[in-house]
A and B are shown apart, each in its own frame.
Chain A
């Protein structure tokens, strides 16, 4: 593997983690938005708070990681994408700002009315952000971003592939969030809420499965290079996605929430990785390859040092945060190692 490919792979790992972790946070907005009024709505919204509250900021940082890897490792491609995709990126950014701030503000809002206002903004912006990121991916993957930048500022993201990408991103996020929230509700012992979430998640899961495979047809016509990649190098991953996605639904139906989570994550990972493999070796499809977009080799090497640092410093802490936030809601009886009375065995202290 060449140096640029290594850095691109490290960056793409960030894309996958962002899609899975932040995707689930964004998707929570859908359930929050449709939670309804009254006590049952309040229960669901409080569950969303507990579920994503401690982790969303850390999950969000993967986006920063992707951006800095992109502009440092592949500055030409970054500048080209930013100038052409100005509008959807600005809109996604608006969603990010409104989502993060209104989520934090809702938590401490003094009155129900204010909380409802912040909550609506949080939930709504949670859905527009993945949509616009999906259109960005569609523009890149369908070869609409000229290497010199300043391409078509509208057609680059309003086109069949982008729209499929946007819809797919939203449903995937909602599906993932549904799995996570259902599992969280079940672990907290709230069966009524868990069942409500489970039914919705099953419906969303079926819908996103349909979108993935129906969406393939417009993409086949609209993005020939990506399609060829998807049907050759990416084909095994699409199969994995299909099987894992179906298994997720079965596990969810059978209330095996742990397995549902594992397969759900695997399915989304396979879809995103399929896109990456499908457009390899292009960074901007038909316009700029990974090699062609790469910055100075010395900088790429330095980036790999930073990635290694991230693996050593960030990942153990991140795992600890996830374990802590999963362990604390109620005392889990079936998971002794995570009991709140003995949270000292952290990866950090083990070092």
Chain B
């Protein structure tokens, strides 16, 4: 904490506020990225097979997406403002280096918002097949948007496309900055992660319904389609993550050292330390698994794994948060992969896992687990990059706002997000309740007709 003395007053609240608003938005952003594709698959099934159950599910999901995307649109706007409000030292100096992908992301956000409007408004107004096709731009916008946002993050990890001469940014090449060396794997990791999260959260909702005895066709289909999508993502993700980890480790040895909880360089073949924390430079309570460390972090049988002693103390990231969140992500990812494999193997053998209560219970948990995995993955890569905002170019203390009083805005954001989460939860649950009660179209509580009826009821009673 010697660093804190010299750092601007805005540093800690800026980091906390950014973490909070990013952590909130990333869940909704995942829905924006992956939910249209899942809705497309369901809607396509409804049209091609003339399946009324699929159509009911599609209509419901469209309503849910309308709500989630609205909250996601505004929580994403918060981040746009916060780039400048909290990180003027980054945006003022490097805005023209990293900005172009943001501009393209803005375009894809446009496309998504417009086609969401068209899709939601197009029910019963557009011919079914045309209506179905209006989802496609949303899915494409999700890909482009994810690519662009992670391009900026990948640039922060692999800064290119400019030259620093005596501290002045010159020779700016925005496209080179956008298509930096880290972008493809980081994009793929995030994009696939979004499908894991959304697929498992949505299927978990129907698993909860089946646990309560609602084992009708609607629940089975509502579970299976998103779960199948999530299954593909869950099986791909470990490979993408492994490649990305190798790349990050090669470029940022201090991040790799923190991932692996190495105070000193481990000669090969290095063990993998499961769990554990670093206390006063000593590894405590870790479960070492011999030889695996070199394979996982270096893709080699006997390569040494670098330790924090290879970088100066002032350049070291907070080790324990980085290590634990990294391993939490991997642990959950591995667990999800195993369960997904077991599910499809059981189905292949003609068994029905959806009648197994333990499987259903796990499926309910799988959604929150996927959220935790995504959040801890971001925590690991962001905290592991510290003390740099732009790797070896700009320190976070130089990027943060120098203003005082940022704790006030942090508190405000915290309160607003809590209220928003409660509101969204209450309304989403009420939607499910009304669907179960047969109010398929969710009649407006304040439409002239319902207001008139309510007034009568009040008058009579």
Q: Is A82 an interface residue (CB 8 A)?
A: yes
User: A58 to B114, Cβ gap below 8 A?
Assistant: yes
Chain A residues with Cβ under 8 A from B81's Cβ? Answer: 67, 82, 89-90, 93
Does B335 belong to the interface (CB within 8 Å)? Answer: no
- Residue in chain A with minimal CB distance to B130: A344
Cβ-defined contact, B445 with A83, below 8 A? no
Q: Point out the residues of chain A lying under 8 angstroms from B125, CB to CB.
A: 324, 328, 340, 343
Query: Given A97-B416, A320-B118, are A90 and B126 also a contact pair (CB < 8 Å)?
Result: no
Interface contact B444-A63, CB-CB below 8 Å: no
Q: Which residues of A contact B99 (CB under 8 A)?
A: 68, 71-73, 75, 295, 299, 303
- Which of A108-116, A164-172, A218-226, A254-262 lies at the interface? A108-116
Contact of A61 with B446 at beta-carbon distance under 8 Å, contacts A72-B95, A100-B70, A343-B126 already known: no
Q: What's the least CB distance linking B54 to chain A, in Å?
A: 22
A236 CB within 8 Å of chain B = no
Pairwise interchain contact A119-B174, C-beta atoms closer than 8 A: no
Task: Identify A46's interface contact among B83, B174, B444, CB under 8 A.
Answer: B444
Q: Residues of A within 8 Å of B, CB-based: how many? A: 85
Binary interface encoding of chain B residues 66-83 relative to chain A, with 1 for a CB under 8 A from any of its CBs, else 0: 110111011111101101
- Tell yes or no: B402 within 8 A of A by CB: yes
Indicate with 1 or 0, residue by residue over B307-346, a CB within 8 angstroms of chain A CB atoms. 0000000000000000000000000000000000000000
Number of interface residues of B (CB under 8 A): 82
- List chain B residues, Cβ under 8 A from A69: 103
Known: A79-B88, A314-B110. A97 touches B448 (CB 8 A): no
Report the nearest A residue to B452, measured CB to CB. Answer: A39
The answer, yes or no, to whether B107 is at the interface (CB within 8 Å) is yes
Let me know if A275 is at the binding interface, CB within 8 A.
no
**Would you call A242 an interface residue if the criterion is a C-beta within 8 Å of the partner chain's C-beta atoms?**
no
A328 to B120 alpha-carbon distance, docked (Å) = 12
B239 within 8 A of A: no
Q: A42-B451, A86-B85 are in contact. Are A295 and B114 (CB under 8 A)?
A: no
Verify if A187 is at the interface (C-beta below 8 Å from B). no
Does B77 contact A54, Cβ atoms closer than 8 Å?
no
Complex Cα–Cα for A303 and B175 (A): 11
- CB contacts (< 8 Å) of B426 on chain A: these are 114
Contact A93 B174 (CB under 8 A): no
- 1/0 per residue, CB under 8 A from B, across A98-114: the answer is 11111111111111101
Residue A153 at the chain B interface, CB threshold 8 Å: yes
Tell whether, in the assembled complex, residue B174 and residue A298 are in contact, meaning their CB atoms are under 8 Å apart: yes
A80 to B63, CA, bound (A): 41
Contact with A along B388-420 (1 / 0, CB 8 A): 000000000000011100000100100010001
Contact assessment for B126 and A97 in the assembled complex, using a CB-CB cutoff below 8 Å? no
The answer to whether A65 has its CB under 8 Å from any CB of chain B is yes
Provide the residues of chain A in CB contact with B127, threshold 8 Å. Answer: 344
For B114, what are the chain A residues with a Cβ–Cβ distance below 8 Å? 58, 314, 317-318, 321
Asked whether A325 is an interface residue with its Cβ less than 8 Å from the other chain, the reply is yes
What is the minimal beta-carbon distance from B327 to any residue of chain A, in angstroms?
34
**Contact indicator A153/B403 (Cβ below 8 Å):** yes
Stretch in B179-187, B293-301, B428-436 with 4+ CB within 8 Å of A? B428-436
Query: Any chain A CB within 8 A of the CB of B121?
Result: yes
CA distance A273 to B121 in the complex (A): 33
Shortest CB-to-CB span from B411 to chain A, Å, is 11
Give which listed residue, B113, B409, B434, B448, contacts A57 with CB less than 8 A. B113
- Most chain B CB within a 10 A radius of its CB, from A61, A74, A101: A101
Docked-complex contact A104 and B174, CB < 8 angstroms: no
Of A61, A83, A101, A298, the contact of B424 (CB 8 Å cutoff): A101
Contact in complex: A303, B73 (CB < 8 Å): no
With beta carbons under 8 angstroms apart, the residue of A86, A89, A104, A109 that contacts B70 is A104
Q: Which residues of A contact B447 (CB under 8 A)?
A: 42, 46
Selected from B80, B97, B118, B455, the residue in CB contact (under 8 A) with A38 is B455
Query: A302 to B100, Cβ gap below 8 A?
Result: yes
Residue in chain B with minimal CB distance to A67: B80
B84 / chain A contacts, CB cutoff of 8 Å:
67, 71, 78-79, 81-83
User: Taking chain A's interface residues, is the majority helix, strand, or loop, or is none over half, making it mixed?
Assistant: helix
How many Å lie between the Cα of A93 and that of B74 in the bound state?
9
Name the distance in Å between B109's Cβ and chain A's nearest Cβ: 5
Provide the residues of chain B in CB contact with A107, threshold 8 Å. Answer: 66-67, 444
List chain A residues, Cβ under 8 A from B100: 72, 299, 302-303, 306
Contacts of B117 in A (CB 8 A): 54-55, 57-58, 321, 325
With known contacts A49-B444, A68-B106, A76–B92 Cβ distance under 8 A: yes
CA distance A309 to B69 in the complex (A): 24
Q: Mark A304-343, 1 if CB is under 8 A from B, else 0.
A: 0010011001100110110011001000000000001001
CB distance from B17 to the nearest CB of A (A): 10
Known: A314-B114, A321-B114. A86 touches B427 (CB 8 A): no
B235 proximity list for chain A (CB < 8 A) = none
What residue of chain A has the Cβ atom nearest to residue B102's Cβ?
Answer: A68
Could you tell me if B116 and A313 are in contact, using CB atoms closer than 8 angstroms? no
Question: Which one of B83, B97, B111, B442 lies within 8 Å of A314 (CB-CB)?
Answer: B111
| Interface positions of A from 94 to 140, Cβ below 8 Å from B | 94, 96-112, 114-116, 118-119
Contact B106 A61 (CB under 8 A): yes
Closest to B446 in A: A115
Is B172 positioned at the interface, with any CB of A under 8 Å from its CB? yes
Is the C-beta of B40 less than 8 angstroms from some C-beta in chain A? no
By the criterion CB–CB under 8 Å, are B95 and A310 in contact? no
**Most A CB atoms within 10 A — which of B111, B114, B401, B442?**
B114
What residues make up the interface of B, taking CB atoms closer than 8 Å to A? 63, 66-67, 69-71, 73-78, 80-81, 83-85, 88-89, 91-97, 99-100, 102-107, 109-111, 113-118, 120-122, 125-127, 130, 137, 169, 172-175, 401-403, 409, 412, 416, 420, 423-424, 426-427, 430-431, 433-434, 442, 444-448, 450-452, 454-455
The 8 closest A-B pairs by CB, nearest first: A72-B99, A295-B96, A75-B95, A79-B92, A82-B84, A104-B70, A296-B172, A110-B430
List 20 A-B pairs, Cβ < 8 Å. Answer: A57-B69, A57-B116, A57-B117, A75-B94, A78-B84, A89-B81, A97-B77, A98-B416, A99-B74, A105-B67, A105-B424, A115-B445, A118-B423, A149-B88, A149-B92, A299-B96, A306-B100, A314-B110, A317-B115, A324-B118
